[in-house]
Structure 1
Amino acid sequence: MPRTAGLLALSPRLVLLALPDFAGTDRIVEAVLTGPAGQLEPPLSWQSLTLPEGRIHVLLTRMQPGLVPNAALQLSAAGGLTIRLTLEAAEDTEALLGSAEPGVLLALLRFLVAKALGAIRAAGDAELAQFCRRLAAAASATARTAQAVARCGRDALAWSLPGDAVPGVHILLAPHRMHRMVLADGPAILPDCGAHEAWLLPPGGGTLIHLPAPPRLPSLGQLGRGKDLRGRALHRAAQAELARRAAVEPAMQRLLRDQQLLQPTLPMHRHAAPDFPLGASLDLAVPDQAGGLFLRGWLRDPLGLVGSLTLVGPYGEQRLAPAALQRFPRPDLVKEFATAPHGGADCQAGFALHLPEGAARPAAQFRLRLGLTTGDEMTLVAPPGLLHPQAARDAILGAIAPAHATAALMARAIAPPVERLHALVMAGRGAPEVIRMGDAPRAPIASLVVPLYRNLRFLRHQLGAFARDPALREAELIYVLDSPEQRDEVEQMLRGMHRLYRLPLVLVVQPRNHGYGAACHAGVAEAGAPVLLLLNSDVVPATRNWLAPMLTALKRQRKLAAVGPKLLFEDGSLQHAGLYFLQMDGEAEWFNDHYFKGHPRHWPAAQVARRVPGITGAAFCVRAEAWKAVGGISTDYVIGDYEDSDLCLRLRAAGGEIGYIPQSELFHFERQSIRDHGGYARSLASTYNRTLHHRRWAPEIAALMARQARAERR
């Protein structure tokens, strides 16, 4: 009598074979199977199942050539055993196994799920997921039922599990895929399966948990605001589960953040009465949205009544060491409490602190509890701190006056959260809108990229000067608007100038103000010339034919990666004849400065073309290939400052040199746009940028300036 092996297709990718038990197949996992197309390829996963009539062996493998009904199969086992089999198609699991006993079906289900999530890597195989759900339904004689209690966002539900459910790794058998879920005590937050029922396969030998198709459910917030005591208890437990998973799951963290944003907040509370023995305030408690928390406040404690500081959030408390607070002056408080009967404010009354793991889960509001020497407590309440990353970054940069920001305070309290938030701001950039006016030159000699931010005072003068210069007819003109609220005004102005001068123009409108570096990248993305010229909107040519000397220098001196022109103040004195680095008295950090700044226009030394340490970003002429090789201008600097010298240093590190070309002369009405940016002009942005620049380049700058000094002495 011929021997047969059952064949059941689980999905277009996977097949299940069932072989009868033979003498010598105790070590079936070592057996070799050969079909009409040759030896079966791994992965091959075996499992032995015990039936009432005996034992069988099942094999899960990928669909392979030759695995079809009536095909011959040869099994070679240990000891030289060779068995010839004929594949016979099975209609369903019962026909394949010869049994519908729930325990056997559950054992097969656990085998399939374990391999699908492991060696087979088929958790997302929709047909396999459907098969496993049918298998679970067939094996559900002793299944327990869970109850859906609330909707958690758009894609998840909170379930109340049976009382005997155990924590651990469960497998969710959803309609189209299988999920590995680590569940704790209390409610389970699971992906929404829509109108379909699903199953939970508990760890160990636990019985199945049935998840019926849910009825219409309240949101988790509605559950917490209801009057039903059980519902409110479930809400608290679900919030705790949400907070647990938010530490490792971005989707849960986003959901927790959204709930925090919508929940009612407490009014800010501080203690500032002059006749009270102490005073304090927690002015800012801003999460850096990467797990950390920035704090800023003040403390007046002339009699030493404060014995402890404890930060209190929705998910726990953290004791703060007073010595860890970075102190800074608050002259306003010294003046305000000068006549306080118990003593005034210390000259270093302000404090700031960054806790790298202080907000591992999103929290809208924090409190600071002051433990007093009497055993009493006082509580400060910060205003809500869950902000858009850009608003959070700017709030931290504006938290302390630049004059009071020491190097230690910048390094320990300001730079870490700003760096994290700025990275999120840059990662969230959207695609700009591109508006073309006229046909650009087919082979432009240069692409001029001009970022615009609010200040349009010089735009007509700049474009008029471009229009009067015949060389600019061979260049691309690309304007990048970094203040999108001015879109209509700028487009109308540029279209009018285009009709007047017949100059082809490109307007790139950024979706949000992301700073100078991002604007330059958006403009360069539309450029097609071999040379790029980054030009500020407040730079106006002093003469015609100013572009040619820079292009000639780049053409003749291949070592030059970038060159910069002579820039003049409004009164004709020198503003820029090359950039160099210096250290101020008593300062460790390197500052940027310009050669011969304030000297007469025709100062002899400024009339000489030469190699320089760097050039300003106000007029930065760079080879497109060199720009591309170093990744363009850095967007790590906030708004704008020091990214031009950073680019020079990266071009140098790649083997290029930087040149100054005095034959190219332009007026630069310095810093006209940046002064209109409140988030920059009155904040620590420049200090942060200088700190970042120094941290990256200090050794290279020191070596460069030492070489420069030796060259100048020679």
Structure 2
Amino acid sequence: MGKFDKEVRLIEESGLFDRSWYLAEYPDVKETGMDPIRHYLWVGAALWRNPGPEFDIRAYLQANPDVKESGTNPLLHYAMTGKAENRSIGSLPGTENPRPIGDGVMEWRNDESIQAGICAREEAAPSPGDAPAFCVSLPGEAIAARAGELAFPPLPDYGAPEVSILIPCFNEIRYTLECLFSVRNALEPGGIRCEVIVFDNGSTDETSRLLPPIPNLVFLREKKNIGFGPANNKAAEVARGEYLLFLNNDAQIAPGTLEALLAAIRNSDVIGAVGPKVIGFDGRLQEAGSHMDANGMPTLIGFGQDTQAPRFNYRREVDCISGAALLMRRDRFLALGGFDPIYAPAYYEDTDLCFRLREKGLQIVYVPDAVVAHHLSVTSGKGKQDQSRLALLTRNRQRFLQRWRRQLLPLNAIRR
């Protein structure tokens, strides 16, 4: 019996996973065709979904902050050790959403934090709000016209660009254009010298018609989709910048982000890569860096939480940073051989890159002053397409574990 099968059995034997309830509460699970328990282990827990009416994930993590810090699946932790240790599940009769752990007196220094705390008593997380002010939204009917308005500043005749921004894409022309407008808006006149490179992974929409005419945009194209890692590798070979910023085409960059990332890594011999605070278009935190558990499962630090909470607003070392927005030196990236193609077409190549940097004794650093908005998995499908995506995740997780299991085990033993 494999490790994952043992985890499924532990969840089943806990008596706290209710298949019927889970399917009724989250109808999209049925569309994936996955077994509900396997879906919960792979996807549901990461999305803060409860396994049944008798176990509240947020309540358990509130009552047991060491479990939250470890990144372990809450129900799996309870089944393995929590029950024997008489751990409190944390929920109270009639209480569905307990208040999360606060941040002390810092949260009382402005009315907005107080209001967020009151809301958290009812919701255990900030309510979805408006998109951040720096975000660009293009009306679908005006895509072609707006593309004609876009231009990037020319590079000076002397010297190479300091940063090459690499944006791989496959269809989703609207998101790509919104990303490019955000980059244009973030570039200060006379500021950081940047080149912008879009790598079209065989798009079948208007991408190849609308983007090549944009002044001072480097446009590269493959006839077929070669995957996230290989596309970035090819773009990096063409790039001339001292630093590379890998940026998803469904992400948008805030003004000042490039400056903050460069300030953190420039002149440092110990930092291998830096990443920004990643927020959703509902205004909630998506990622303040990530850490890995011993099973090769990443946890997005702060997912769904308040972006202004003090615990997410100081620079710190993390296990890994999402390839949705990651900056590092070009020479280091090329010396490592780029993203490993064994993970193509997608998933875990960014995590693997961070672990290879760590193996060289370099740090992965989260920089909260840099901010990027990201549409999480906008291209994910349903049904068979979603099953294919989950199959890729499973395959690449196993490849990642085979390579890094020895490094993961002691890392997580310390956290426990």
Give the TM-score normalised by the residue count of structure 2: 0.59
| Structure 2 residue matching 1:686: 3-state secondary structure | helix
2:198 partner letter: Y
Partner in structure 2 of residue 694 of structure 1: 401
| Structure 2 residue matching 1:666: 3-state secondary structure | strand
Which structure has more RCO (C-alpha within 8 Å, separation ≥ 6)?
Answer: 2
Question: Kindly tell me: are residues 580 and 459 of structure 1, through their superposed partners in 2, closer, same or farther at Cα, counting changes over 3 Å?
Answer: same
Whether the aligned pair in 2 keeps the contact of 1:438 and 1:505 (CA below 8 Å) is no
Partner in structure 2 of residue 682 of structure 1: 388
1:492 aligns with 2:203: no
Partner in structure 1 of residue 243 of structure 2: 531
User: Per-residue deviation at 1:593?
Assistant: 1.4
- 1:475 aligned residue (174, 191, 194): 194
Question: Kindly tell me: are residues 662 and 595 of structure 1, through their superposed partners in 2, closer, same or farther at Cα, counting changes over 3 Å?
Answer: same
Tell me the distance in 2 between the aligned counterparts of 1:526 and 1:617. Answer: 19
Question: Kindly tell me: are residues 685 and 625 of structure 1, through their superposed partners in 2, closer, same or farther at Cα, counting changes over 3 Å?
Answer: same
1:512 partner letter: K
Show CA shifts across 1:120-142 (max 9, x none). xxxxxxxxxxxxxxxxxxxxxxx
Question: Kindly tell me: are residues 680 and 628 of structure 1, through their superposed partners in 2, closer, same or farther at Cα, counting changes over 3 Å?
Answer: farther
Question: Kindly tell me: are residues 572 and 438 of structure 1, through their superposed partners in 2, closer, same or farther at Cα, counting changes over 3 Å?
Answer: closer
1:634 partner letter: D
1:462 partner letter: C
Tell me the distance in 1 between the aligned counterparts of 2:364 and 2:398. Answer: 23
User: Per-residue deviation at 1:512?
Assistant: 1.5
Tell me the distance in 2 between the aligned counterparts of 1:695 and 1:404. Answer: 26
Show CA shifts across 1:193-217 (max 9, x none). xxxxxxxxxxxxxxxxxxxxxxxxx
User: Per-residue deviation at 1:680?
Assistant: 6.1
Superposed, 1:376-391 pairs within 5 Å as none
Show CA shifts across 1:16-74 (max 9, x none). xxxxxxxxxxxxxxxxxxxxxxxxxxxxxxxxxxxxxxxxxxxxxxxxxxxxxxxxxxx
Whether the aligned pair in 1 keeps the contact of 2:230 and 2:344 (CA below 8 Å) is no
- 1:446 aligned residue (141, 163, 178): 163
Whether the aligned pair in 1 keeps the contact of 2:284 and 2:304 (CA below 8 Å) is yes
Unaligned ranges ≥5, structure 2: 1-31, 39-151
2:288 partner letter: A
2:174 partner letter: R
Between Structure 1 and Structure 2, whose CA radius of gyration is higher?
A: 1
Unaligned ranges ≥5, structure 1: 1-399, 407-436, 584-588
Question: Kindly tell me: are residues 555 and 580 of structure 1, through their superposed partners in 2, closer, same or farther at Cα, counting changes over 3 Å?
Answer: same
Question: Kindly tell me: are residues 458 and 473 of structure 1, through their superposed partners in 2, closer, same or farther at Cα, counting changes over 3 Å?
Answer: farther
Whether the aligned pair in 2 keeps the contact of 1:539 and 1:668 (CA below 8 Å) is yes
Partner in structure 1 of residue 328 of structure 2: 622
1:656 aligns with 2:362: yes
Whether the aligned pair in 1 keeps the contact of 2:278 and 2:374 (CA below 8 Å) is yes
State the number of aligned residues.
268
Partner in structure 1 of residue 300 of structure 2: 594
Tell me the distance in 2 between the aligned counterparts of 1:641 and 1:480. Answer: 18
Question: Kindly tell me: are residues 402 and 528 of structure 1, through their superposed partners in 2, closer, same or farther at Cα, counting changes over 3 Å?
Answer: farther
User: Per-residue deviation at 1:491?
Assistant: 3.2
Superposed, 1:92-103 pairs within 5 Å as none
Tell me the distance in 2 between the aligned counterparts of 1:615 and 1:569. Answer: 16
1:546 aligns with 2:263: no
1:456 aligns with 2:173: yes
User: Per-residue deviation at 1:440?
Assistant: 4.8
Tell me the distance in 2 between the aligned counterparts of 1:478 and 1:519. Answer: 11
Partner in structure 2 of residue 231 of structure 1: none
User: Per-residue deviation at 1:540?
Assistant: 0.7
User: Per-residue deviation at 1:655?
Assistant: 2.0
Partner in structure 2 of residue 512 of structure 1: 224
When you count helix as a share of all residues, which structure comes out higher? 2
Tell me the distance in 2 between the aligned counterparts of 1:455 and 1:676. Answer: 17
Partner in structure 2 of residue 603 of structure 1: 309
2:172 partner letter: N
Partner in structure 1 of residue 112 of structure 2: none
Whether the aligned pair in 2 keeps the contact of 1:564 and 1:659 (CA below 8 Å) is yes
User: Per-residue deviation at 1:590?
Assistant: 2.0
Partner in structure 1 of residue 371 of structure 2: 665
1:571 aligns with 2:282: yes
Whether the aligned pair in 1 keeps the contact of 2:212 and 2:219 (CA below 8 Å) is no
1:529 partner letter: G
1:570 partner letter: F
| Structure 2 residue matching 1:570: 3-state secondary structure | coil
Question: Kindly tell me: are residues 458 and 688 of structure 1, through their superposed partners in 2, closer, same or farther at Cα, counting changes over 3 Å?
Answer: same
Question: Kindly tell me: are residues 644 and 653 of structure 1, through their superposed partners in 2, closer, same or farther at Cα, counting changes over 3 Å?
Answer: same
User: Per-residue deviation at 1:462?
Assistant: 1.6
Whether the aligned pair in 2 keeps the contact of 1:637 and 1:689 (CA below 8 Å) is yes
| Structure 2 residue matching 1:451: 3-state secondary structure | strand
User: Per-residue deviation at 1:682?
Assistant: 3.4
Give the TM-score normalised by the residue count of structure 1: 0.35
Question: Kindly tell me: are residues 706 and 559 of structure 1, through their superposed partners in 2, closer, same or farther at Cα, counting changes over 3 Å?
Answer: farther
Question: Kindly tell me: are residues 473 and 675 of structure 1, through their superposed partners in 2, closer, same or farther at Cα, counting changes over 3 Å?
Answer: farther
Superposed, 1:69-80 pairs within 5 Å as none
Tell me the distance in 2 between the aligned counterparts of 1:563 and 1:702. Answer: 24
User: Per-residue deviation at 1:448?
Assistant: 0.7
Tell me the distance in 1 between the aligned counterparts of 2:324 and 2:382. Answer: 16
User: Per-residue deviation at 1:533?
Assistant: 0.8
Whether the aligned pair in 1 keeps the contact of 2:285 and 2:305 (CA below 8 Å) is yes
Tell me the distance in 1 between the aligned counterparts of 2:412 and 2:185. Answer: 40
| Structure 1 residue matching 2:266: 3-state secondary structure | helix
| Structure 2 residue matching 1:572: 3-state secondary structure | coil
| Structure 2 residue matching 1:513: 3-state secondary structure | coil
Partner in structure 2 of residue 555 of structure 1: 266
Superposed, 1:255-266 pairs within 5 Å as none
Whether the aligned pair in 2 keeps the contact of 1:448 and 1:532 (CA below 8 Å) is yes
Show CA shifts across 1:623-676 (max 9, x none). 112212211111111421111111000111122110000000111111123449
Question: Kindly tell me: are residues 676 and 560 of structure 1, through their superposed partners in 2, closer, same or farther at Cα, counting changes over 3 Å?
Answer: farther
Show CA shifts across 1:351-405 (max 9, x none). xxxxxxxxxxxxxxxxxxxxxxxxxxxxxxxxxxxxxxxxxxxxxxxxx965499
Partner in structure 2 of residue 97 of structure 1: none
1:482 partner letter: N
Tell me the distance in 2 between the aligned counterparts of 1:506 and 1:630. Answer: 24
Partner in structure 1 of residue 3 of structure 2: none
User: Per-residue deviation at 1:579?
Assistant: 0.9
| Structure 2 residue matching 1:485: 3-state secondary structure | coil
User: Per-residue deviation at 1:470?
Assistant: 3.0
| Structure 1 residue matching 2:347: 3-state secondary structure | coil
Whether the aligned pair in 2 keeps the contact of 1:454 and 1:676 (CA below 8 Å) is no
Tell me the distance in 2 between the aligned counterparts of 1:679 and 1:664. Answer: 33
Show CA shifts across 1:484-508 (max 9, x none). 434xx22332245x2xxx5x11111
Tell me the distance in 2 between the aligned counterparts of 1:540 and 1:644. Answer: 19
User: Per-residue deviation at 1:686?
Assistant: 1.2
User: Per-residue deviation at 1:443?
Assistant: 1.7
Question: Kindly tell me: are residues 605 and 679 of structure 1, through their superposed partners in 2, closer, same or farther at Cα, counting changes over 3 Å?
Answer: same
User: Per-residue deviation at 1:704?
Assistant: 2.9
| Structure 1 residue matching 2:264: 3-state secondary structure | helix
User: Per-residue deviation at 1:678?
Assistant: 6.4
Tell me the distance in 1 between the aligned counterparts of 2:37 and 2:405. Answer: 20
Show CA shifts across 1:525-555 (max 9, x none). 11011111111001112x3121111111111
Larger CA deviation: 698-707 vs 593-602: 698-707
Whether the aligned pair in 1 keeps the contact of 2:202 and 2:222 (CA below 8 Å) is yes
User: Per-residue deviation at 1:681?
Assistant: 5.0
